[in-house]
Amino acid sequence: MPADIKTREDVYSLVCNFYKKVRKDPEIGHFFNEVIRDWDAHIEKLTDFWESNLFFKALYKENPQKVHVKVDKENNQEIASYHFGIWLNLWFETIDQLFSGELANRAKNNARKMSSHLYLKIFQARESKA
């Protein structure tokens, strides 16, 4: 059985392996590949986000809601809950391949909550523009 997520290096490994899958995914890869120009910087930023999220460190300072609303707008408001489902499945699959334990489960639960919240914010932004 794999060990739990314990360090920034573990979080970095999770994020890197996850985004390798996302970038290749035929249904959601384009949302990322068409927007992200510097993947190394993006991986570092998301490692900060998940390290903050899992270890309660204040490393991540940006607003993910604004970023996701912008990406949705740039994609003709085509991001659907279905896409978040694919994202979650890839996240869970990556965690299960690499880790198990309390923080691995927290990473799954937090991603589930976050995906619901972000999709709601995307939907609300569409409604406010209608």
pLDDT tens per residue, range 45-89: 999 999 999 999 988 888 889 999 999 999 999 999 999 999 999
pLDDT in tens, 27-40: 999 999 998 999 99
> For the chain, what percent of residues have pLDDT higher than 70?
98
Tokens 């999220």, located at residue: 53
Query: HEC string of 75-121?
Result: CCCCCCHHHHHHHHHHHHHHHHHHCCCHHHHHHHHHHHHHHHHHHHH
Q: Reduced to 3 states, what is the DSSP secondary structure of residue 29?
A: helix
Rounded Cα distance between 124 and 61, Å, is 23
pTM of the model as a whole: 0.92
